[in-house]
Structure 1
């Protein structure tokens, strides 16, 4: 379904994907059934996961490129290239993207994570209402995927955050009942006077969000954390001391300048030395680097681990 390009990215045949989807939708379940799996952790105990669940929440921009992720063929090509690089363990995405990757045969021997709640659309009045509009625990189990991920943003001034908290707890319960890992991405959030939703990356707020997320559900046996690097990276040791749960770092948008990228890599390098930090989950910073070299960005991240 794809042919090579000069930059190493495969050229994805969207027409063929659409043809299979229209004529043989059962091909997706068949591809999931025959996918060759691997353990969540290999021998080195580290994880590098490429995240691509942004579009389903209406997040299509990267830096000043407002529609960078809107070209699905381009996104799939970048994902296939990233997944082919040494040291990349797997991918996090919503059903539409994972279905495409299954049809492309790109998920063999990879960790596959389903994105569970994408209802809090970027910029919407209901952005904090992170309802579970993506993969359900039973979908992840049925498709033989390896883990799920949920977003947990809490605003202490918004009573609706209690509903979000309860929904997240029940999702943790359902995943634990199936012995499936679930990665919880917690934030303490607030709205600015202009109504924009922002996440508090101070050490106190991140530590508090970790403590809250760690206590969700009737069992934490299968819970992992996905945590941002704090505004001051020197605070990370104190922040990560808030829980014994294994964690991966959130890559986030690291900026386009070489200086910004170097600073982000150094933050990641320092945090990856902490005892509970098992790896990195990054998306746009690896898939859409400013210089366009996906392979180099992915290889740099893999080298940090």
Structure 2
């Protein structure tokens, strides 16, 4: 692969798309943030940005989901049963591939962020890393030996069932499950429970409750997948002192079983900050060059 190659990278979120062009060293050459409106408007704006920076070797996309990632599936590249109005069953890959004439790699936005942190951030040098994002919703991605984790679909960790705190009467905000992890601990849940956005909350009880729910998630993740590091990003996770309290609660919940690594090295913020997703999407673009088009 030529060291002068330039890749397109898109972190396709439910609120905004962050589009970037990245060189072979994962340095951002240019970025543009596009509001997530209708599929056609959003895709057209992303295509316009990438066309201005051609020729590109490939494009990588980390998108909100659920998304069909099964090679050979008739719905490959489609966002599927998302509750986001107007986006269910949207084909993300084909319009980009047709307009730009290059391979397009695809995964979830959180798998892309996990890949970015594994490549260049808090997971560099490790075999396994998990990335949990806590924002409007909650998602989790994982990378095992350089490959994002897939199964019959992809991780939907935001919808795991966790016990509701006995002092929390809130029924949950998830339209599918009510009081799943996302329904209890996402930014949407915090806003609905308190009546104002998480970033405006100064109630210590609200943040203690949040730390407890996220600690339950980390313990479940550690016991189920045993990643070598858990990276927690997203807007809610930036609240001062939250990750420190999550670590304390993780230690309480784990109760010494089994012996664990130092929690300030195990539960960490993203080293790449807000760049995790686009760095990971650039990695997806590189991977797309190695995958025959007929397989996707």
The alignment's TM-score, normalised by the length of structure 2, stands at: 0.29
Please, what TM-score do these two structures have when normalized by structure 1? Answer: 0.29
